[in-house]
Every structure is written in C-alpha cells, then in structure tokens.
Amino acid sequence: MYRRNTSGNTGRCGLIVPALAFLLLALALSTPSIAQKADRISPVRFAGIAPGNAFNGVSKIVADPEVTITTAGCSVVGFTFSVLPKGDYIYGPFKTEGHRLRQEQVDELKKMKGTSMKIFLENIKLKCGDKTLLETPVVYDVKP
C-alpha cells in the first residue's frame, strides 16, 4: 500500500532517481560516431598535444591554434570549441569551420591567461578521402 509523505521532505531520492533514469535513457539512445565504427582513427591533436595531456598556460594554444588528426589522408574540416574556466561559467560552444581557431577565439583565450580551465573540442568533422566522419569529443586541461 502506498503511504503519502506528509512531512514535506522528499529527501534526496526524489531528485536522484529521475536524474539517474534520464542518464540511463540518454546513454541507451546514444549511438557511436562514424569514426568509432571505423577500424581506427588516431586521436585528434590540439596545438600538437594529444588528448589527456595538460597544457601549461594558453601560450602554446595561442601560438598554434590548430586542430589536426594524425591519420594519413584525413583532415579536420570543422569543430566546436568551449572553455570552462575554473570557478566560472562555460563559454561556448563556438562553431569553427576549418582546422584553426578563429582570431576572436584566440583573443578570448589570451584574456584568460593565468587561469586554470578545461577546453572541450566537440563535433569534430573529418574529411577522409570522399567521406566525412565525426570524431569523438576531446577535453584538455590548461594549468595556469
């Protein structure tokens, strides 16, 4: 038999269960990208650095704002770029055509010099021969 809670306190379970159900549904409905289905596509490089490695400051990104891929015959033709400074709100996503950050994006990064942040590269479009593929997102840590 169902007993009504008259205390007015729903507890944490009232928020956790719907959030968990939403997360599980989102994971079940997500499909792997075209690039994940391919035999193997090498990781993306941002300013020459592989995902999982940290940048020491934004100076390397500002000097070399290119997104590349190491797979022969493939090139980056577009991506979205977001920045999450520590203790601040996320900036982006900013759509970029081509393989380089736009100058206004580089200028914004210069303003964040000395700040810890995470950089997200998503919706990475690759041109491999006559096919357009979608690479998985990557995240970079930037230390001050």
**What is the value of pTM for the model shown?**
0.67
pLDDT at residue 30 above 50? no
Among the ranges given (44-58, 72-86, 111-125), the one the predictor scored with the smallest mean pLDDT: 44-58
Residue 47 in domain: yes
Is 55 strand, coil or helix?
strand
Domain membership flag for residue 23: no
Is the separation of the CB atoms in 76 and 126 below 8 Å?
yes
Q: What are the pLDDT digits (tens) for 83-119?
A: 999 999 999 999 999 999 999 999 988 888 889 999 9
Domain count for the chain? 1
11: in domain:
no
Given a contact cutoff of 8 angstroms between Cβ atoms, the answer to whether 64 and 109 are in contact is no
Euclidean distance between CA atoms 32 and 86, whole angstroms: 30
Query: Which of 12-26, 49-63, 90-104 has the lowest average pLDDT?
Result: 12-26
What residues make up the domain containing 38?
34-143
Among 46-60, 101-115, 122-136, which stretch is predicted with the lowest mean pLDDT? 46-60
Q: What is the pLDDT of residue 21?
A: 54
Triad 78, 54, 38: Cα angle to 5°: 45
Average pLDDT over residues 33-49: 60
Taking the C-alpha atoms of residue 82 and residue 78, their distance in angstroms, rounded to an integer, is 14
Q: CB under 8 Å to 64, separation ≥6 — which residues?
A: 47, 48
Q: Say which residue, 26 or 53, is predicted with more confidence.
A: 53
Q: What is the mean pLDDT of residues 15-21?
A: 56
